[in-house]
Copies of this chain bind each other. A is one copy, B any other.
Amino acid sequence: MTDDALVIFTPSGKRGRFALGTPVLTAARQLGVDLDSVCGGRGICSKCQVQPGIGEFPKHGVTVAANALSGWNAVEERYKSIRGLAEGRRLGCQARVMGDVVIDVPPESQVHKQVIRKSASERVMVMDPATRAVYVAVAEPDMHEPTGDFERLAQALADQWQADDVTANLGILRRLQPALRKGEWNVTVALHKGHNDTHPRILDIWPGYHEGPILGLAIDLGSTTIAAHLCDLRDGRVLASSGVMNPQIRFGEDLMSRVSYAMMNPGGDVEMTRAVRDSLNTLIGAIATEAAVDPAAIYEVVFVCNPVMHHLLLGIDPVELGQAPFALATSGSLSLDARDLDLTAINRAARVYVLPCIAGHVGADAAAVALAEEPNTSKDMVLIVDVGTNAEILLGNESRVLACSSPTGPAFEGAQISSGQRAAPGAIERVEIDPVTKEPRFRVIGSDLWSDDPGFAEATARSGITGICGSGIIEAVAEMRMAGLVDAKGLIGSAEQTGTLRNMPEGRTHSYLLHDGTAQGGPVIMVTQGDIRAIQLAKSALYAGARLLMDEMGIDNVDRVVLAGAFGAHISPKHAMVLGMIPDAPLSAVTSAGNAAGTGARIALCNVAARARIEAVVHRIHKVETAIEPRFQEHFVNANAIPHATDPFPQLAAIVTLPDVSYNTGGGGGTGRRRRS
C-alpha cells in the first residue's frame, strides 16, 4: 500500500498524486482545478461541493473504492444536518483523499461558471466577476506588536486569498472594528478588483460568514430608453430586467436636439445630467423592488451608451459632439465610484465601469455590441447593424473590424410615422399583403393570432389595434413593395394603378389602408406616402453606412448579417432585405442578436477580463466618419430606392420577385441628407 493516491478531476481531466489525507480542495488548488470556495476551506460555504465517482473508470484507468474519500467528519455532518447536501455530494474542503479517486466538479462549484444566455443566440457567458465575497480569519490585536485592525485584515486577505495590498474606504474602516469583534475575528468581505486596478478594494464587510448576494447592474443607457439587467454576480443569473424612458426626452427627442439644448441654455447639460442620474436611481430602486433584493447589495454597475449619453451621464457638456471634429472629452473606458455619478440608490462603495467609446459618433454601445458579437473573432465577414435612433454598424472579421454610425432617425422605432407607436400591446408588429388581392392581414403585440384567424377580435379586444410599431412598418412597406402597391422609388400607386381601393388619394399622394378600426371605436391605420419617405430616409442612411464600410473593406458582399438592437430581434430578415435596409445576403445568413449592447454590458459586468478584452478590441477597430465621407451622400441617394437603385440583390431575387411597377407622376422622393440624431 502506497501512502499517496491518484486524484483525477472531471470534467477538466486534471490529475495528480497526493498524500493520503489531502483535502480534495487542496488537491484541486494544487492542480489548478477551478473549484470555488468562499469560506476558505472552513466547511461553511459549501461552494466547493464535489461528486466523487465510485467503481471502474476504464477511460481514466482507475478503480475507485467506496472508501476512496475519508468518512464524514463533524464539520461536514453538521453542514449536512443544518443546510442539507444533495445525494452523492461532499464538501471538497472536508473530504480527504484516502485512495485513487475520480472527482467530478459540478458546474455550480466552478468559479468560472459558464452561464447560458437566455436570449436568441444561446451563447455561453463565463463568470469572472470583479467583485466576490470571501471569508477570512483575522489575527487578534497584540499590544506588543501593535498594528491596526485593517493591516491585520489586509495581511489575512493576502495570506488566505492571495489578495495583496487591499484598500478600503473610510466607510469600511468605520465598520471594521465592530465587525471583527462581532464575528470573533472572522469576517466576510466583498472584494473588488477591476481589470486596471493595482490593488483589490474592500467594498463591504460583515461579521462572520455572510452569504448575501453580490449583485451588479448592466445598464444600456439609450437616447430613448434606459434598460437595466440586475444580475447575481455569484452565478450570472439575471434576477430582473427593467426599463424606463430616458427623462432627457423632454430636452429633445433626438441626441442632436439635446446637444442644442445644452448649447442654447447655460447649465442645460447639468440639468440633463441631473435628470438622467435621478432617473437611474429611480430605475435602480424599481428593479431592486421587482427582484425583492436590497439595493445596497448592488456593488457594480456597467454602462453602455452612445457618446452623447456617455457625456451627459458623466456630467460633461456634449457640445463638442455636435460639431466637427466630434471630439470626445474622453474615449477610454472609465472605472469610477458610483458616488461620482450620484448613484445613491446602491451600495455606497459600489464601482462603475463604463465601456470605451469607439469615436465621437460610435459609442460605448457599439463597443458593447462588439463585445457581445465578437466580429474580431469571426472567420467570415460579418456585418452587424445595431438598429436604433442612431444605427451603429460594424463590419469585419478576425483580420480587421470597421465601425461607423449612421443617423437613421427614429422612424424604425415607429416615430415620425403617421400611425406609428412604440412597441406595446395593440401595436401592429407583423404584416402580410396578398400579392393578388392586395388585402392585408397582420398581428398585433399581445396576441399570436393573425387578423384573419378566428378569435382575433376577442384576443385583441382588450388592447385594441392602436397603431403600428417599428417592425410593423418595415414589414408593411416591404409587403407593399412585394404586392406592387409601391414602386422601386417608393411611390404609392393609385387605386387605379394598383387595382385596390385600399390605395386612397391623400392630397397629391396616396395612402394604403391597413386597418379601419372605426367600427370598434379604434383608429384608421394607414401607410402614407410620408411614412414611406421616412422609412426610405432611415433605411438609406443605414444602407449607406454599411456600404461605406464595405467600400473601406474593399468588398461588395458580406457572408452574414447580424441585426442587433432592442427591436433588431423583431425585424424579419426577408422584409429588411426587400426594403434594402441591409445588403444582399442569403436569408439564412441574416440573424438577430437581440439587444446585443445590453448583452455586451452583461458580459462586461460578469467577466472582468472581458473589459480588458473589449478595450483592446476597440483600440484596433478602425472608425469611419460618415459625416465627412463624400461617398456617404452618394450611397445614401442610391439607397433611396427599394431595395436599391444600383446595387443588385441576387440572393433576394432568387427567393422574391419584386413587381416591376412605376407610379412616377412627377412628385420626387426626398433625398435630403437627414440631420444626424
Does B177 lie within 8 Å of A331, measured CB to CB? no
**Distance between Cα atoms of A574 and B290 in the complex (Å):** 77
1/0 contact string of A337-357 vs chain B (CB within 8 Å):
000110000000000000001
**Distance between Cα atoms of A358 and B151 in the complex (Å):** 13
Does B177 lie within 8 Å of A320, measured CB to CB? yes
Question: B143, B177, B326: which contacts A324 (Cβ < 8 A)?
Answer: B143
**Distance between Cα atoms of A268 and B319 in the complex (Å):** 48
Does A150 lie within 8 Å of B330, measured CB to CB? yes
Does A553 sit at the interface, judged by CB under 8 A?
no
**Which of A167-175, A291-299, A540-548, A598-606 lies on the face that meets chain B?**
A167-175
Does A656 sit at the interface, judged by CB under 8 A?
no
Does A144 sit at the interface, judged by CB under 8 A?
yes
Q: Knowing A315-B170, A316-B170, say if A329 contacts B623 (CB, 8 Å).
A: no
Does A146 lie within 8 Å of B316, measured CB to CB? no
Question: Which residue in chain B gives the minimum CB-CB distance to A360?
Answer: B146
Question: Which residue in chain B gives the minimum CB-CB distance to A627?
Answer: B143
1/0 contact string of A308-322 vs chain B (CB within 8 Å):
000000111101100
Does A149 lie within 8 Å of B314, measured CB to CB? no
Number of copies: 2
A140-160: which have CB < 8 Å to B? 140-144, 146-151
Determine the interface band of chain A, counting residues with CB < 8 A from chain B: 35 or more
| Residues from chain B with Cβ under 8 Å of A316 in the complex | 170, 173-174, 177
**Distance between Cα atoms of A329 and B180 in the complex (Å):** 10
1/0 contact string of A497-535 vs chain B (CB within 8 Å):
000000000000000000000000000000000000000
Q: Knowing A177-B316, A198-B198, say if A143 contacts B628 (CB, 8 Å).
A: yes
Does A327 lie within 8 Å of B148, measured CB to CB? yes
Does B173 lie within 8 Å of A328, measured CB to CB? no
**Distance between Cα atoms of A329 and B174 in the complex (Å):** 8
Does A329 lie within 8 Å of B146, measured CB to CB? no
1/0 contact string of A59-100 vs chain B (CB within 8 Å):
000000000000000000000000000000000000000000
| Residues from chain B with Cβ under 8 Å of A627 in the complex | 143
| Residues from chain B with Cβ under 8 Å of A142 in the complex | 325
Does A331 lie within 8 Å of B143, measured CB to CB? no
Does B360 lie within 8 Å of A173, measured CB to CB? no
| Residues from chain B with Cβ under 8 Å of A326 in the complex | 141, 143, 146
Does A146 lie within 8 Å of B317, measured CB to CB? no
**Distance between Cα atoms of A138 and B93 in the complex (Å):** 57
Question: Which residue in chain B gives the minimum CB-CB distance to A152?
Answer: B327
| Residues from chain B with Cβ under 8 Å of A146 in the complex | 325-328, 331, 358-360, 623, 625
Does A149 lie within 8 Å of B325, measured CB to CB? no
**Distance between Cα atoms of A625 and B20 in the complex (Å):** 47
Does B329 lie within 8 Å of A148, measured CB to CB? yes
13 A/B residue pairs, CB under 8 Å, sorted by A: A141-B327, A143-B360, A146-B327, A146-B623, A146-B625, A148-B330, A149-B327, A151-B332, A170-B340, A173-B329, A174-B329, A176-B330, A198-B198
A-B pairs, 4 with minimum CB distance: A148-B331, A146-B359, A141-B327, A150-B330
- Besides A140-B325, A143-B324, 19 more A-B contacts (Cβ < 8 Å) are A141-B327, A142-B325, A143-B360, A144-B625, A146-B328, A146-B331, A146-B625, A147-B331, A148-B328, A149-B330, A151-B331, A173-B314, A173-B315, A173-B316, A173-B329, A176-B329, A177-B316, A177-B317, A177-B329
